[in-house]
Chain A
Amino acid sequence: MTSRGWNTADHSDWGCDICGRDALKRSITRRGFMKNGALALIGTSTIPAFLSRSVLAEMTTAAANKKKLVVLFQRGAVDGLNVVVPYTEKNYYTMRPSIAIKQNEVIDLDGFFGLHPQMAPFKPLYEQGHLAIVHAAGSPDPSRSHFDAQDYMESGTPGVKVTEDGWLNRALAAEKMEGKASAFRAVALGTQVPRTLQGKVPAIALNNLADFSVGGKGPQTSPISNAFQAMYDQSSDAVLQGTGQETFEAVKMLKAADPAKYQPASGVTYPNTPFGNSLKQIAQLMKANLGVEAAFSDIGGWDTHQNQGASTGQLANRLTEFSNSIAAFWRDMGDDAENVTLVTMSEFGRTARQNGTGGTDHGHANVMFVLGGAVKGGKVYGKWPGVANEQLNEGRDLAVTTDFRNVLGEAAYKTLGSRNLEAVFPGSKVQPAGFLGLMQG
């Protein structure tokens, strides 16, 4: 298995030609359909209901940005080399004698890369052109500390510890806004507001829509909830007062919208796991029109130092949950998926070589997924640095060729309309001219 010569050269669009074979399939995606013909069909009975609805909505509220950005963090450093496998790289197999994904097991993407078999739910999304992959993405900071690296990725300022807010919060702040923002504009599924969403723009965290209520369910807030609200509204404790206000506003909105009635679209089953439930609830919130613009969730369990397995095993189990949850979310969103962009990230990759306990240690570059209506998918983006011994970062890890901020920047710019990228990623030099072209717009 020889390398094809181009994988070491600068081919920022490598994989493109090979992926071009799915061009036909791509043209019949919802997006393609809408772009090319849907408008012309308005008013006729031949237009599917879901399309007329979204198109009409787009026409009447053209000014309002209905786009939504979903950010998913794989905490613990997922082993990207085993998720999107460079299966023609000889050294990949040499370095991973017992954990490599065999050539006959990968789901081929473009003749060079293949998905881990447990990522099968991503294959149709890729083929339909909704899913783009960026390989060898990562942080310019060399830290192999989970916590520093996560912090840098979430703050969006690698190497700078004093940054107080998260990049996604700044991206929202950099967006042109009119009118009062919804309490649900920035929402995290979980018990805490993640670093990514911390900052000036109010962000809420909630674990479970079903019990996000004080002292009683029902369509009305309970008297005790109102009393607590009065208590917090007027507290001199600035931190708790602020959060309290957001809390009670969200409680009220949620009661009014009753997202519980937005059950998954027929035929869609989310994995019954916290991550699956998080995505299900993000879909509920979005479908309930609560004004969600940015949503965040995370999934742990990627720190596979030991016995990570290959096509089955520990990592495989995590990937099953990961890919099924995201694919379910995509299907569940139905026609509104057109307005969604979903990005995944992880703090760093793992060592190219397997370690002494059937796992991998902390490495450097990793793989990111970008899924969405405006995504130019069906392609693996980025420059492949190669995994020959001399190509490895510090002789041990996949080298970073795409700054993760470039990917996030494009997603924020084209989804949220965050034009001031210097504010979102200070000092990064991320500019539209340097985007990978992952998305339309």
Chain B
Amino acid sequence: MRRAGDVQGNGWLPGMQGFGPRGAGRAALACLLCVLMVDQPLYGSVVKRGPTAGVQQTKGESRALHALNRLTFGPRPGDVAAVQAMGLSTWFEMQLNPSKIDDSALTARLAQYPAMQLPQQQLLARYPTQQIIRVMSQRNMWLPSDPTERAIYGDQMAFYKIQQTNKAAKDAAATTASAAGDGNSMAAGAAPAAVPATGKKNAAKKAAAAEQGAEAAGMATTGPADSMAMPNYEAMAGENGAASNASAMLPKSEISDTGQAPDQHVEKLYRDLDAMKIINMSPDERMRKVIAMSPEDFLGFRQSLSGGELAQFAQGLNPQQRETFAAMQNSTRMVGAEEMQVRLIRDIYSERQLEAVMTDFWLNHFNVYVRKNQNEPYLIPSYERDVIRPNALGKFEDLLVATAKSPAMLVYLDNWQSIGPDSAAAKNGPRYAAIARNPQVKAALKDRGLNENYGRELMELHTLGVNGGYTQKDVTEVAKVFTGWTISQPERGGEFQFDERRHEQGSKTVLGKTIKENGMNEGLEVLHMLATSPATAKFISNKLAVRFVSDNPPPALVDRMAQSFLASGGDIKKVMQTMFDSPEFWTPAAERSKVKTPLEFVVSAVRASGATVNNSLGLVQALDKLGMPLYGMQTPNGYSWMSEPWVSTGALVSRMNFALVLCGDKLPGVRTDWTKLLGESAAAAGKPVAMDSGDGAIDPEVAAKEKKLEAVLLGMPLSEKTRTAVLSQSSDQTAAIQAVKEFQGGGGRGTYTGGPMGEGALAFAARNAVPDDRQAAIMAGMMLGSPEFQRR
């Protein structure tokens, strides 16, 4: 029950730039299918390794399937055969060395998101935060001279001003309403409308309150400031369907509101514009035209477009142009949406699957939260790209140091503001406080000092583990060690810097060891100490084993991995190799013993179905619904790798609905091709999955199709009961259409996210899409929603 205005403004949004080249990635698929068709007898070709005597081992094809289930985001059609053809150990070794794997198809897809490749400061300079927009508007600052940037800044600043004007008017109205007893509205969750709210007084008041909250929560341009955007958190935090993480970032806004009378101010403007004329121009002309528009004209133009027209407008624009168009409306949303879309594109399409899985593992281990403040979304692309991924299969200490220095982590766990109580900066605080104008800044300057947040989580969650033998005193001392680890020009997306003036003087004692006064090196010394501690080796090994082997991994396995960790100086590759070589990894009991997390479920479903993802925004939203929004875990422990949290009534309902929606082509931006998939699998069906019996009542053709789908989607036979259930629904054609309503939270417009561009069109397409083979679609939906597919 989200209101239209909620998701505008500071909210976020999906830029939706992602019309990936259709068919990119097909090459890779085809390649694997070729391998598949060779169909060689691989059964005995897998070399048994390691000390396997006495422990029953998974064999043959299931071995490859098991490896793919655990070490990738799930097999695509043909992957099992391809791995077998290559040989498991060869395949694993390649996966351990991702740079040797050609990933050009993925690179081509990612080229659709050029902003995600920009260095952090450039990203923030070109696509400013809403905080910057606000400050610039309030101070009437000069616009950039580059015409495109000028439009991106100028339009948003103009929206901000219109919004302020409207807010003031509505505030007055709301005061009256409030006096009439409607005094219950809340700031939380609502982000102000970037476009004048057209709705109820109440909504306007909420927006106003949220704006205040966001104002207070934003990262100030000078000095310490509130960095927790609390009022906005809940709207994203993943409860109550529509109000979950990315969904809240998604625009419902202008377009879905067209039923209501637009604000007069805007109405007058877009009546005068001939939107169709612009749409019919060449892409470059189109962009020149909108960039040259006055902010008011642009707003009117944008509001006048229907979903279909929006799609037409987007047609032919290059990626930068699409990003620009989105950013002219809200650059923060564009950035936030792209980083999530890109993450899913990579997980689905990367040939470097182990790297992707490990990146996911470490992003979760070194969790950061996109809603921490308005800058955090700008810090995440570099965090993923420069901090986590390059070190995902490297040395743990390098990874630890990189996270410690990363602006994303420094902001998330507040260390960038932590100041030695006796440091030079602390002593100067009162002096600056005396001249500070903002009372909050004044107060903060006067009393600033230590913040324990990073010091504690560094030991508890990143290295030693909660039973790692540290005390409260150690937490405080570590916090002192890391004073001065901060960010230069934080408001501009600056990088790490060590600020001696903030650093606590004197030596410290950490875990019984004296850390001599040595500036930034103290921190490096502590990180080294922690990275090489046996407690850390054990803690990390155990967590890896829980992720890759079992909810309750055998202690002997964990010990072996920890030994490998210590002996190799924290070489993650070595630890993974040890795990791969261990009999415990290959016991039949371990097979399919892990319940997929929502991310694993969604990505594996897309991979298994061979669906083409032109835009991953619908999948990003699906993760909200399933309770695992990307970069949406607020607390630093990250999401659980255990089964229990992910098996609940509500989660199961959502999984079944997702499966139906995906297979029925009702998910915006994702297209299946069952005919092709079944055709290919027929040609490749060298080793069909055995079926126990055929139900006499079932058309043999349907039964055959079902059988093929089992082979393609699960790589193993379903239970008889599951199969019967699947077959019983083979003629139901309406389920996907129904499920889409459930899955989208029952909103009238459902998938209609009405974003800056593209989503509208995608939703439009999805409403009218019909899977090429409805029968296959419904059976596939049942299979992906089955108990069997929930495990890996």
Contact = CB atoms under 8 A, between A and B. Distances in A.
A317 B215 CA distance: 12
B474 to A, nearest CB: 12
Contacts of B226: 306-307, 309, 313-314, 358
B787 A241 contact: yes
Contact of B230 (A212, A240, A241, A314): A314
B787 A231 contact: yes
B187 to A, nearest CB: 6
B21 interface: no
B304 interface: no
Contacts of A361: 451-453
Contacts of A271: 184-186, 188-189
A357 interface: yes
Interface in B526-557: none
The size class of the interface chain B forms with chain A is 35 or more
A169 to B, nearest CB: 13
A237 B456 CA distance: 39
Interface in B203-252: 206, 213, 216-217, 224-228, 230-231, 233-235, 237-243
B107 to A, nearest CB: 34
A232 B745 CA distance: 24
B786 interface: yes
Interface stretch (A28-36, A45-53, A190-198, A368-376): A190-198
Given A269-B185, A272-B186, A231 B782 contact: yes
A251 B440 CA distance: 50
Contacts of B696: none
Nearest to A270: B184
A359 B451 CA distance: 8
A275 to B, nearest CB: 7
Given A274-B237, A306-B451, A98 B444 contact: yes
A212 B653 contact: yes
B291 to A, nearest CB: 36
Contacts of B742: 211, 213-217
Nearest to B738: A216
B417 A357 contact: yes
Contact of A274 (B189, B213, B450): B189
Given A191-B651, A277-B240, A307 B637 contact: no
Contact of B645 (A192, A234, A273): A192
Given A207-B241, A217-B742, A307 B225 contact: yes
Contacts of A246: 649
A138 to B, nearest CB: 16
A320 interface: yes
Contact of B627 (A192, A239, A276): A192
A273 B235 contact: yes
Nearest to B783: A231
A356 B418 contact: yes
B648 interface: yes
Contacts of A222: 735, 738
Contacts of A215: 656-657, 660, 735, 738-739, 742
A304 interface: yes
B295 interface: no
A208 to B, nearest CB: 4
A117 to B, nearest CB: 14
Interface in A248-266: 250-251
B446 A273 contact: no
Contacts of A210: 241, 745-746
A146 B591 CA distance: 33
B791 interface: yes
B449 interface: yes
B721 interface: yes
B448 A358 contact: yes
A299 B240 CA distance: 13
B188 A321 contact: yes
A355 interface: yes
A277 B628 CA distance: 19
A356 B241 contact: no
A435 B776 CA distance: 62
Interface string B778-792: 100010011110110
B233 A301 contact: yes
Nearest to A297: B239
A284 interface: no
A206 B652 contact: no
A230 B721 contact: yes
A186 to B, nearest CB: 11
Contacts of A228: 656, 725, 782, 785
B399 interface: no
A217 B440 CA distance: 50
Given A192-B648, A271-B185, 7 more contacts: A190-B239, A191-B650, A211-B745, A214-B739, A235-B721, A274-B234, A300-B234
8 contacts: A192-B648, A208-B240, A216-B742, A224-B778, A251-B653, A355-B452, A357-B414, A357-B449
Interface of B: 1-3, 6, 181-182, 184-190, 206, 213, 216-217, 224-228, 230-231, 233-235, 237-243, 414, 417-419, 421, 426, 440, 443-444, 446-453, 456, 460-461, 466, 472, 475, 595, 625-628, 634-635, 637, 643-654, 656-657, 660, 719, 721-722, 724-726, 728-729, 732, 734-735, 738-739, 741-746, 778, 782, 785-788, 790-791
